[in-house]
């Protein structure tokens, strides 16, 4: 609470003049469509679907465990439907739905447990309040989608979007530039307590002005934000309730969506300065392509102007841009790295120096995108998990061990593996050794026993082929309107200028603007086309995602173990 008050006091002091709501909204586009004036009531059928699909988690504020509520849902649904519909019709959120218990979670296991800032304040909320939030969120999402109000390059909390799709798009832009002998300057912007400092008055004004939320619907959101309370729980001890005057609760359903709507103008500022941009919630990255022989002084001026305007916008909107944690990296070809390693960018009293690598949404990007640092980090983390499981292997069954390995090791190998396509074979070999070690642990094989048959029995694809599988899955989704627009626009179905036998074979166009094989083959459009066009025609013609995944796994499994 003290941190939030300090941030707001400093931001208020930074505003050299009195800022009106007109000043704050000058970067926003006014909504001109049909307003969302009320939230339509729910039905027992809709509520049943939401409750049964929800996780069976509960917190101390719930009157009964969630699993018990689900088992008694037929008896309770009429009353719950009435409660929800009364809230929507009267634009009123019950005070019992606005209570939260915060159990601080350490951001990383390696951080000091005695330092408060290393904890993330995740709110535990009553189950029924989350059900109500999901209903409002679905109606708000329908309004935003229908009026095309989303920031296209904001990948957080949206269907078909994820951190991996965001990484694929940014990675594609960087390797495309490197293939053309250009450099890329990437800025990773860091915000302090972004969710907790949101100003409710500005948020409500933006929802009305830019998103067309008005009347009863806007009053419901105002009630949702007003007079929220939270208490902190550590072990069995709990603090007194404190009233929250700012922010949206972390851990809620509606809070993250409201933050994304609140911060939408940042993308428009980047476009105004001709900066490429991508964001995942409050993780914002802006990047710019430049030729090595280009005017770097002019680029620095444009970067400073863009950063200055973003900083001014955030200050006026009561968001704190953390200059000390904002990172800068210059991507370049290997023979140019040393020439550009001293690049520095002055920013608001600090100097942003060129880093050797940055962590972008959980994946490490080094200066030449070799992915060596990422592979090192993944290997270290996986081996730690393997040793931990190995310590208890004699006390658990083979199936239990397989479950642990899949959740703690394989998941780490698979995250972001689409970015590893066509990297150095020795880099992939390091991850393959990790997978082999994990596979030996399950049937308790010795170090020098053959691993191929073990992998086949587990039905695991080798690391290289897992990367192929992930890429082809995104290509399929892009072709069937099940991927973000920023990936769909990169995949172009093949359409010859004259009638050819190949036009009905489900092929996609392979980009021809090739300069270097090292980087061009790693572009999403090029890599996707290469792998897709090599698939059997029955897979390219498949329309069902579950059937495609099953057929693709069978096909790649045959390729991976064709010599056995």
Tell me the average pLDDT across 173-181: 91
Report the domain count for the chain. Answer: 4
Spatial CB neighbours of 235, under 8 Å, sequence gap ≥ 6: none
69 lies in the same domain as 178: no
Rounded Cα gap, residues 533 and 540, in angstroms: 8
Q: What percent of the chain is predicted at pLDDT more than 70?
A: 97
Residue 514 pLDDT class (50, 70, 90 cuts): low
Rounded Cα gap, residues 520 and 524, in angstroms: 9
pLDDT at 16: 59
Rounded Cα gap, residues 410 and 372, in angstroms: 19
13 in a domain, yes or no?
A: no
Coil/strand/helix, residue 36? strand
Tell me the average pLDDT across 328-339: 86
Residue 380 pLDDT class (50, 70, 90 cuts): very high
Last residue of a domain, one of 331, 350, 366: 366
pLDDT at 18: 62
Highest mean pLDDT among 69-73, 170-174, 443-447: 170-174
219 lies in the same domain as 302: no
132 lies in the same domain as 235: yes
**Which pair of tokens denotes residue 140?**
């708000």
Tell me the average pLDDT across 440-463: 91
Reported as type and span, the H/E element at residue 229 is strand 228-234
Coil/strand/helix, residue 303? helix
Q: At what angle do helices 127-146 and 73-90 cross, to 10 degrees?
A: 60
pLDDT at 88: 94
b (16+ CB within 10 A) / e for 516-530: eebbbebbbbbbbbb
**Per-residue model confidence as pLDDT tens digits over 285-300:** 999 998 877 788 888 8
pLDDT at 341: 67
256 in a domain, yes or no?
A: no
Q: How does DSSP classify residue 354?
A: B
Count of residues in the chain: 564
Torsion angle, CA of 261/262/267/268, rounded to 10 degrees?
Answer: 100
144 lies in the same domain as 184: no
pLDDT at 111: 85
Rounded Cα gap, residues 63 and 127, in angstroms: 9
Q: Helices in 273-346 by DSSP H: which ranges?
A: 296-316, 337-340
301 lies in the same domain as 231: no
Spatial CB neighbours of 382, under 8 Å, sequence gap ≥ 6: 409, 412, 413, 434, 438
Cβ(557)–Cβ(461) under 8 Å?
Answer: yes
pTM of this structure: 0.91
88 lies in the same domain as 225: yes
Rounded Cα gap, residues 30 and 22, in angstroms: 12
pLDDT at 249: 84
299 in a domain, yes or no?
A: yes
Last residue of a domain, one of 403, 426, 460: 460
551 in a domain, yes or no?
A: yes
164 in a domain, yes or no?
A: no
The mean pLDDT of the chain is: 90
Nearest to 535 by CA among 561, 507, 510: 507
Nearest to 2 by CA among 232, 223, 325, 262: 232
231 lies in the same domain as 86: yes
284 lies in the same domain as 431: no
Rounded Cα gap, residues 275 and 47, in angstroms: 43
408 lies in the same domain as 524: no
**Per-residue model confidence as pLDDT tens digits over 108-131:** 877 888 888 788 888 889 999 999
Rounded Cα gap, residues 305 and 347, in angstroms: 10
**Which pair of tokens denotes residue 63?**
């009157």
pLDDT at 329: 92
254 in a domain, yes or no?
A: no
Rounded Cα gap, residues 516 and 382, in angstroms: 33
412 lies in the same domain as 471: no
Reported as type and span, the H/E element at residue 254 is helix 254-262
359 lies in the same domain as 376: no
**Which pair of tokens denotes residue 203?**
């948020």
Cβ(531)–Cβ(468) under 8 Å?
Answer: yes
337 lies in the same domain as 424: no
Coil/strand/helix, residue 508? strand
Nearest to 135 by CA among 46, 57, 52, 60: 46
pLDDT at 234: 87
Full residue range of the structural domain in which residue 439 is found:
372-460
Scan for tokens 């993780």, then name that residue. Answer: 283
Other beta carbons within 10 angstroms of residue 414's beta carbon come to 17
222 has a pLDDT exceeding 90: yes
Coil/strand/helix, residue 154? strand
278 in a domain, yes or no?
A: yes
497 has a pLDDT exceeding 80: no
**Per-residue model confidence as pLDDT tens digits over 394-412:** 999 999 999 999 999 999 9
CATH number at 358 reads: 3.30.70
Tell which wins on pLDDT, 442 or 190.
Answer: 442
Rounded Cα gap, residues 292 and 406, in angstroms: 44
139 in a domain, yes or no?
A: yes
Spatial CB neighbours of 206, under 8 Å, sequence gap ≥ 6: 25, 28, 261, 262, 264
pLDDT at 17: 59
Last residue of a domain, one of 324, 343, 366: 366
Rounded Cα gap, residues 334 and 320, in angstroms: 36
Cβ(6)–Cβ(14) under 8 Å?
Answer: no
pLDDT at 115: 86
484 has a pLDDT exceeding 80: yes
pLDDT at 546: 95
22 has a pLDDT exceeding 80: no
Cβ(220)–Cβ(91) under 8 Å?
Answer: yes
**Which pair of tokens denotes residue 317?**
């909107």
Residue 502 pLDDT class (50, 70, 90 cuts): low
């Amino acid at each position: 609470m003290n941190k939030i008050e300090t941030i707001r006091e400093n931001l208020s002091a930074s505003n050299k003049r009195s800022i009106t709501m007109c000043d704050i909204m000058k970067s926003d586009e006014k909504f001109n469509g049909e307003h969302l004036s009320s939230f339509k009531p729910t039905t027992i059928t809709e509520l049943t679907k939401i409750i049964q699909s929800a996780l069976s988690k509960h917190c101390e504020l719930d009157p009964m465990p969630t699993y018990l509520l689900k088992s008694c849902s037929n008896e309770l649904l009429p009353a719950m439907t009435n409660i929800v519909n009364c809230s929507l019709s009267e634009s009123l959120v019950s005070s019992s739905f606005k209570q939260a218990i915060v159990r601080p979670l350490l951001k990383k296991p390696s951080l000091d447990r005695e330092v408060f800032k290393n904890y993330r304040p995740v709110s535990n909320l009553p189950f029924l309040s989350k059900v109500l939030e999901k209903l409002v969120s679905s109606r708000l999402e329908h309004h935003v989608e229908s009026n095309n109000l989303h920031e296209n390059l904001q990948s957080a909390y949206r269907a078909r979007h994820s951190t991996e799709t965001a990484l694929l798009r940014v990675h594609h832009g960087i390797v495309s530039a490197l293939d053309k002998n250009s450099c890329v300057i990437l800025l990773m912007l860091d915000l302090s307590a972004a969710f907790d400092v949101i100003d409710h008055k500005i948020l409500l004004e933006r929802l009305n002005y830019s998103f067309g939320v008005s009347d009863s619907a806007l009053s419901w959101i105002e009630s949702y934000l007003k007079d929220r309370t939270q208490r902190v729980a550590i072990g069995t001890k709990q603090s007194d309730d404190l009233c929250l005057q700012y922010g949206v609760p972390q851990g809620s359903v509606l809070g993250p969506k409201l933050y994304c709507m609140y911060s939408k103008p940042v993308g428009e500022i980047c476009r105004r300065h001709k900066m490429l941009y991508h964001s995942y919630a409050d993780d914002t990255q802006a990047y710019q392509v430049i030729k090595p022989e280009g005017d770097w002084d002019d680029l620095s001026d444009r970067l400073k102007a863009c950063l200055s305007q973003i900083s001014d916008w955030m200050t006026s909107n009561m968001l704190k841009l953390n200059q000390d944690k904002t990172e800068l990296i210059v991507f370049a070809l290997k023979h140019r790295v040393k020439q550009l390693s001293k690049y520095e960018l002055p920013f608001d009293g600090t100097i942003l120096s060129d880093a050797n690598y940055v962590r972008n949404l959980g994946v490490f990007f080094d200066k030449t995108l070799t992915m060596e640092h990422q592979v090192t980090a993944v290997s270290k983390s996986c081996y730690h998990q393997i040793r931990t499981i190995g310590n208890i292997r004699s006390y658990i069954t083979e199936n239990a061990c397989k479950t642990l390995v899949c959740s703690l090791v394989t998941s780490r190998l698979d995250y972001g593996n689409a970015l590893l396509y066509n990297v150095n074979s020795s880099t992939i070999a390091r991850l393959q050794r990790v997978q082999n070690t994990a596979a030996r642990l399950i049937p308790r094989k010795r170090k020098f026993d053959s691993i191929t048959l073990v992998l086949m029995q587990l039905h695991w694809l080798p690391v290289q082929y897992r990367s192929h599988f992930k890429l082809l899955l995104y290509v399929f989704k892009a072709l069937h309107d099940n991927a973000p627009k920023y990936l769909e626009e990169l995949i172009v179905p093949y359409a010859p200028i004259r009638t050819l036998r190949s036009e009905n074979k489900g092929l996609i166009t392979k980009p021809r603007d090739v300069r270097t094989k090292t980087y061009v083959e790693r572009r999403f459009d090029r890599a996707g086309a290469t792998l897709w066009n090599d698939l059997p025609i029955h897979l390219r013609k498949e329309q069902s995602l579950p059937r495609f995944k099953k057929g693709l796994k069978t096909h790649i499994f045959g390729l991976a173990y064709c010599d056995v």
